[in-house]
């Protein structure tokens, strides 16, 4: 375990964020590598895989329930130096991960066809998305174990092993993708299904490596067969913290699904361009997401140790670092957004849609960074509901207006992008107000008002 209740807070944030960011960057390469090879199969394949990949947000939502809940409780236990509680939470999170994986496989294979038919622009896109999903579902199911194992290490203040495992799995995916998608060396191309299988195989290897690390090198928390029996009180504690962040990811799935639905009438190019733009934007968000992931264990250990002044200092440092990084990325996207699109869009119309999307939505990058940072703080405080409330407000401010706009003559893509910018800014202001209120309630000190 690494003690984050002593020493320089900016140093702790950066030392945790750098490995997390590198690991997330390599994890994002899963998507970009697949997207590169899939883009060579045509617009229907891009649109289908993009729409199918949106389902990954639903699985990420469920995995975040485990990851956030376990990480926050383990971090607070480390701050209290309570080894027994940390191990109880860890083992119960693994049990929940196994249950969630089984549900994902059953529900995924049963419902994926109906989902793709409802959201895809045409039959070819639906078929491509379904082929990809059927191959990727085993990997999605294994994500629960990977997230639970990584969250336990993050709660103890350790992030490098997770980074190294992610690097190995991405390198493996980079090797498998051209072989399975395009048929390199073998002469047998599986197309979009090959992209799904490459990711599933790589994730399986990642889970095996993480389990090996816990068996041989991790000593603070570990797998204990005696603690793998269901313990409902521990489940309730994990779910109480984890469900709201899971709900936030589920809302991302809803917002993206609404956008794909609104774009159906504008053709495959519009859906393909949006899919490319979203994937690229996710990659651009990696720096702020790494900082937000580092905020939770640093602030969480200090919450457990009762160090309120360090909790406040963690937020201030993270907000400043994140805002500077996101402002720099905003300027880059305003200057040359097409640079990000060249490797992924052979179709000029899809590339134009993606570049225009990135140019407009980049105006909400700083606001998005503050939203992510606040989310990490709520996780550390052990009350993640306010962050969910702020995200849910976009059902009224974005989803409903988007559907209304798409049904009117003269509907244009830019209307959706501008609506997204305005509602993200409103969400950021809401979540900042809610965090200030939560800090005053949880940390009743004079200095808390300065937050």
**Domain spans in the chain, listed from the N-terminal domain onward:** 9-230, 243-442
Predicted confidence (pLDDT) at residue 423 exceeds the cutoff of 90 = yes
pLDDT of residue 35: 67
pLDDT of residue 38: 74
pLDDT of residue 447: 44
pLDDT of residue 27: 64
Q: pLDDT-derived band of residue 17, with 50, 70 and 90 as boundaries?
A: confident
Q: Which residue has the higher pLDDT, 345 or 262?
A: 262
Predicted confidence (pLDDT) at residue 174 exceeds the cutoff of 50 = yes
Predicted confidence (pLDDT) at residue 342 exceeds the cutoff of 50 = yes
Q: Which residue has the higher pLDDT, 29 or 445?
A: 29
Q: pLDDT-derived band of residue 304, with 50, 70 and 90 as boundaries?
A: confident
pLDDT of residue 427: 93
* Residue 253 and residue 54 in contact, taking contact as beta carbons nearer than 8 Å: yes
Predicted confidence (pLDDT) at residue 191 exceeds the cutoff of 90 = no
Q: Mean pLDDT for the chain?
A: 83
Question: What's the rounded mean pLDDT across residues 207-216?
Answer: 91
Rounded CA separation 256/352 (Å): 19
pLDDT of residue 371: 92
pLDDT of residue 264: 77
Predicted confidence (pLDDT) at residue 448 exceeds the cutoff of 50 = no
Whole-number percent of the chain with pLDDT over 90: 23
Question: What's the rounded mean pLDDT across residues 222-231?
Answer: 87
Q: Which residue has the higher pLDDT, 131 or 276?
A: 131
Question: What's the rounded mean pLDDT across residues 350-365?
Answer: 85
Q: pLDDT-derived band of residue 418, with 50, 70 and 90 as boundaries?
A: very high
Predicted confidence (pLDDT) at residue 30 exceeds the cutoff of 90 = no
pLDDT of residue 446: 46
Question: What's the rounded mean pLDDT across residues 395-408?
Answer: 90
pLDDT of residue 28: 65
Q: pLDDT-derived band of residue 22, with 50, 70 and 90 as boundaries?
A: confident
Token duo for residue 136 = 């990727």
Q: pLDDT-derived band of residue 119, with 50, 70 and 90 as boundaries?
A: low
Predicted confidence (pLDDT) at residue 363 exceeds the cutoff of 90 = yes
pLDDT of residue 220: 81
Q: pLDDT-derived band of residue 243, with 50, 70 and 90 as boundaries?
A: confident
Predicted confidence (pLDDT) at residue 397 exceeds the cutoff of 50 = yes
Question: What's the rounded mean pLDDT across residues 170-190?
Answer: 84
pLDDT of residue 142: 93
Predicted confidence (pLDDT) at residue 382 exceeds the cutoff of 60 = yes
pLDDT of residue 449: 41
Predicted confidence (pLDDT) at residue 278 exceeds the cutoff of 50 = yes
pLDDT of residue 238: 92
């Amino acid at each position: 375990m690494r003690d984050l209740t002593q020493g320089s807070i900016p140093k702790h944030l950066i030392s945790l964020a750098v490995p997390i960011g590198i690991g997330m960057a390599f994890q994002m390469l899963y998507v970009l590598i697949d997207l590169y090879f899939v883009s060579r199969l045509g617009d229907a394949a891009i649109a289908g895989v993009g729409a199918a990949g949106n389902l990954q947000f639903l699985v990420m939502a469920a995995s975040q329930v485990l990851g956030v809940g376990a990480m926050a409780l383990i971090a607070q236990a480390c701050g209290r130096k309570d080894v027994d509680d940390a191990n109880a939470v860890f083992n119960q999170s693994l049990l929940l991960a196994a249950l969630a994986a089984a549900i994902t496989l059953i529900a995924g294979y049963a419902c994926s066809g109906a989902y793709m038919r409802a959201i895809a622009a045409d039959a070819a896109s639906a078929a491509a998305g379904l082929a990809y999903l059927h191959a990727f579902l085993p990997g999605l199911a294994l994500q629960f174990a990977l997230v639970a194992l990584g969250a336990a290490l993050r709660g103890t203040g350790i992030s490098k092993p997770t980074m190294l495992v992610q690097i190995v799995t991405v390198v493996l995916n980079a090797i498998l993708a051209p072989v399975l998608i395009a048929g390199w060396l073998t002469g047998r191309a599986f197309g979009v299904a090959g992209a799904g299988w490459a990711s599933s195989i790589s994730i399986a290897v990642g889970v095996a490596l993480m389990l090996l690390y816990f068996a041989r090198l991790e000593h603070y928390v570990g797998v204990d067969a005696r603690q793998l029996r269901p313990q409902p009180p521990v489940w309730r504690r994990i779910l109480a913290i984890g469900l709201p962040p899971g709900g936030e990811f589920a809302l991302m799935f809803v917002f993206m699904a609404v956008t794909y639905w609104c774009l159906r009438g504008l053709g495959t190019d519009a859906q393909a361009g949006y899919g490319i733009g979203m994937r690229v934007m996710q990659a651009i968000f990696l720096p702020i997401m790494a900082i937000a992931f580092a905020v939770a264990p640093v602030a969480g250990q200090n919450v457990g140790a009762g160090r309120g002044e360090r909790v406040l200092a963690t937020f201030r440092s993270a907000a400043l670092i994140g805002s500077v990084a996101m402002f720099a990325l905003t300027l880059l996207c305003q200057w040359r957004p097409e640079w990000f699109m060249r490797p992924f869009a052979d179709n000029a119309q899809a590339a134009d849609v993606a570049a225009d999307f990135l140019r407009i939505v980049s105006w909400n990058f700083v606001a998005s960074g503050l939203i992510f940072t606040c989310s990490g703080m709520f996780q550390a405080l052990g009350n993640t509901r306010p962050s969910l409330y702020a995200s849910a407000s976009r059902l009224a401010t974005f989803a409903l207006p988007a559907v209304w706009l798409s049904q009117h003559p003269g509907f244009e893509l830019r209307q959706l992008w501008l609506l997204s910018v305005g509602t993200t800014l409103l969400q950021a202001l809401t979540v900042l107000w809610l965090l200030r209120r939560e800090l005053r309630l949880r940390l009743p000190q004079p200095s808390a008002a300065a937050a």
